[in-house]
Amino acid sequence: MKPVIFQTEPLRSERSARFWKELIPYFRYVAASGSLAFSLAVMLGIYGYTEFLKTMPSDFPVRPVAAAVLLICFAISPVRTYLKQADIVFLLPVESGMTAYFRKSVVASSIVQCLIVLFIWALLWPMYKLGTGVSSAFFWIVGIQCLILKCLNVYAGWRINQLRERAWRRTYASIRVVLTAGLAYAVVSLHPAWALLLTGIGFIVLLLWVQRFTSFPYHWEHLIRLEQKHRAKYFSFIGAFTDVPREHAEVYNNRLARYITANIPFKQNRAFFLLYAATWARSELFGIAVRLTIVGIVVISITEGDLLKIGLYVLFAFICGVQLSALNQYHRYSEWVHIYPLDPRLRVQSANQVVAITHLLVNILLALPLLVTAANPLAGVLAAALVVAVSLAVPRFRRK
């Protein structure tokens, strides 16, 4: 009797289909609540980019800007494995037969991310062609090199994630980013042959060096953590629009959380406020708020035209408010909040207070570049009014 061989490749397709089948029904709630903001963002983006191309100065650093944007696309190269905690028990014993499963994960992730890179390069192309004066054929030459560089980044990131020591993973990930930064600039600046040669040599050296420190084929625990983190990001985004189950929420060691909890009175009526303030500081919502604020400040500062600046301010303030409103979903179904003698109404009230205070601070920070760079002094007065208006308008879009 022949031994039964466990086929792992179909399992990956089945898990991928199950994940999207679980996620897709929530998209109608996202579309219902966020279609207006998304449409506004697209229209503002098209208008702003078109106006920028019309007025782009001749000395604008086209190549560094294109390389910086492409670097972000290259450096962020996750691999979706759809692994679960129980796989350590059920799939680890057949690790030798998991090659097809993980190969399909790397290939599928590479294809999706290559399409995204091509889309970003197509957006950059009008600016690049206008600033450099190259022929249309250069679009495909650079595009092919971008695809090669993206696939190499996905595979290099995959190999680095198999390292056992966290310090080594961070070190080699940093080396990969630095190497990719130089190669991204080479792709948009040098002759295609030189760019391809440098890309190949650089990543061959990196992969050979990483291979020396890879003791085991797969780092199961780390891959499961990455998959849980990736899944949590999807549900965190959707949680801003509707109720979704929160699984394996990422917790960050943030010094700000200790500062916040140390300055909140330890009283019964402030218990939920303390809980949600610390939760915000130690969850992915903190990073979302910081990134949106920084990007918003930069974009508003460099954008020309007061009306466009005001539109961008409203857009970033609104998106940040919607994302922060996901804080209401934390601890909603935790049994611990029902054990202690606390008024359950304080939970929602405290969560909304934390969201309101955080959103007001973000709005004030986003208004600063509008006050400083606006040509019309009245724009500053309008910015102050918008701080209040947006803070009051966002709660209407939250699902109670």
Confidence of residue 300 (pLDDT cuts 50, 70, 90): confident
C-alpha 213, offset from chain centre: 29
Which pLDDT value is given to residue 122? Answer: 93
Token output for 70? 């492409």
Let me know: does 210 contact 154? Beta carbons within 8 Å.
no
Per mean pLDDT, which of 105-109, 160-164, 321-325 is the most reliable? 105-109
Nearest to 320 by CA among 376, 358, 282: 358
CA distance 79 to 166: 18
Top pLDDT among 119 and 280 is at 119
* pLDDT over threshold 50, residue 80: yes
* pLDDT over threshold 80, residue 266: no
Which pLDDT value is given to residue 78? Answer: 92
CA distance 186 to 49: 25
CA distance 232 to 330: 12
- What is the per-residue pLDDT across 112-159, written as a single tens digit (0 to 9) for each? 999 999 999 999 999 998 888 888 888 898 898 899 889 989 988 998
* pLDDT over threshold 70, residue 187: yes
Mean pLDDT of 87-94: 85
Kindly list the distances between the CA atom of residue 130 and the CA atoms of 54, 153, 217, in Å, as whole numbers in the listed order.
10, 29, 47
CA distance 111 to 113: 6
Top pLDDT among 201 and 13 is at 13
Confidence of residue 110 (pLDDT cuts 50, 70, 90): very high
Where are the chain's structural domains? 9-229, 251-397
Count Cβ neighbours within 10 Å for each residue of 242-263 and write b for 16 or more, e otherwise.
bebebeebeeeebeebeebeee
CA distance 42 to 261: 39
- What is the per-residue pLDDT across 23-54, written as a single tens digit (0 to 9) for each? 888 777 776 666 666 676 777 778 778 888 88
Which pLDDT value is given to residue 213? Answer: 60
* pLDDT over threshold 90, residue 108: yes
Confidence of residue 394 (pLDDT cuts 50, 70, 90): low
Top pLDDT among 84 and 283 is at 84
- What is the per-residue pLDDT across 234-264, written as a single tens digit (0 to 9) for each? 877 776 666 666 555 555 566 666 776 666 7
Average pLDDT for the chain = 79
Kindly list the distances between the CA atom of residue 248 and the CA atoms of 242, 261, 330, 351, in Å, as whole numbers in the listed order.
18, 23, 12, 20
Lowest mean pLDDT among 84-88, 310-314, 385-389, 390-394: 390-394
Which pLDDT value is given to residue 339? Answer: 72
Confidence of residue 1 (pLDDT cuts 50, 70, 90): very low
- What is the per-residue pLDDT across 323-369, written as a single tens digit (0 to 9) for each? 788 787 777 766 666 677 777 777 778 888 888 888 888 888 888 88
